[in-house]
Amino acid sequence: MFEDLTRVRLVVNIKTLYVSILAVGSMIICREYGIEGSFPLTLISTAIIFPIVFSIGGAYKRRENALAHYGAIKAHGRAIFYAVRDWMPESDRDSLSQTQGVMRELMVGMRELFTNPEEEMREHETAVYSAFSKLSLLIRVELRDKGLPGGECSRLYAYMSKMMVAFENTKHIFQYRTPRSLRAYSDFFILVLPIMYGPYFVASSTSYSMYLEYLMPLLFTFILVGLDNIQEHLENPFDQIGVDDVAINAETFVKSLEH
């Protein structure tokens, strides 16, 4: 029950209240001064709903791409760990522990990068590439210098290269989002149209019972602002605010690497 209420709060927030007050206030003023009009509802879909739905589709696709890249990082990291465990001529628990430590440092660094403000990205990016550097050194010192054939080491470097490519792709998803101009366009009309449609709400309320006449502007507001909030929560798939965000579970991943 509490979880359901939390999800509702993500869609219905203080912005919903503000725009609802504007819409109902516009209707009351238009009724007071006898201002009525029948505006086409296609204006709503053209000016707001279509751009927001387009943005939601783009944000959802970015989230799915982020999940795919995150999965690639985990899969190749696990493959490197298994190589340290199974490919060496002799088992070396110290090398396994070092590999786990590097993987933990890498995953924690990624989590810190993607969950903190973009202004701090360079600092955390340095930590992530420090972990990649340690992983590269580990492959050479702990594997190649201890007897792993050069061809197998090259394969592990290829795995690490794919991890770095996936990380860079994920980082760009974090950096570059829905065009700001489209976002500003939607925000403007979400504030303006409920006010402009005051005459329409008055004209359409003649067939409603008392107090139900305010249902139309409230429904308009809840639908438009709700869609806008959904798009906003999908915009950054790593901020851990929306219920559909990507969670980087560094500790769970490292714990799953069994000796």
Question: In 3D, which of 50, 62, 64 has the Cα closest to residue 182?
Answer: 50
- Residue 16 near residue 222 (C-beta atoms within 8 A): yes
Using alpha carbons, list the distances in angstroms from residue 87 to 48, 64, 95, 140, 153: 57, 33, 12, 14, 10
Residue 69 lies in a domain: no
- The confidence score (pLDDT) of residue 30 equals 93
Residue 188 lies in a domain: yes
- The confidence score (pLDDT) of residue 162 equals 97
Tell me the pTM: 0.84
Same domain, 114 and 167: yes
- What is the token pair recorded at 160? 């690490």
Residue 91 DSSP class: -
152 Rama class: left (phi>0) / alpha (psi -120 to 50) / beta: alpha
Taking each helix axis as running N to C, give the angle between helix 215-235 and helix 50-86, from 0 to 180 degrees, rounded to the nearest 10. 30
Same domain, 159 and 231: no
Question: In 3D, which of 171, 104, 111 has the Cα closest to residue 134?
Answer: 104
Provide block-wise average pLDDT over 10 residues at a time, the chain (259 residues): 62 90 94 86 82 87 94 96 86 86 96 92 95 94 81 93 97 85 86 89 81 86 90 86 85 84
Q: Tally the domains of the chain.
A: 2
CA–CA separation, 214 vs 222, rounded Å? Answer: 13
Which DSSP string corresponds to 55-66?
HHHHHHHHHHHH
- The confidence score (pLDDT) of residue 102 equals 96
Same domain, 125 and 190: no
Same domain, 172 and 184: no
Same domain, 201 and 167: no
- Residue 242 near residue 234 (C-beta atoms within 8 A): yes
- What is the token pair recorded at 165? 């490519």
* Domain range for 203: 10-54+180-235
CA angle 228, 248, 156 (to 5 degrees): 130
Same domain, 82 and 166: yes
* Residues near 119 by beta carbon (within 8 Å), at least 6 away in sequence: none
Residue 71 lies in a domain: no
Residue 4 lies in a domain: no
- The confidence score (pLDDT) of residue 143 equals 83
- The confidence score (pLDDT) of residue 259 equals 53
Residue 152 lies in a domain: yes
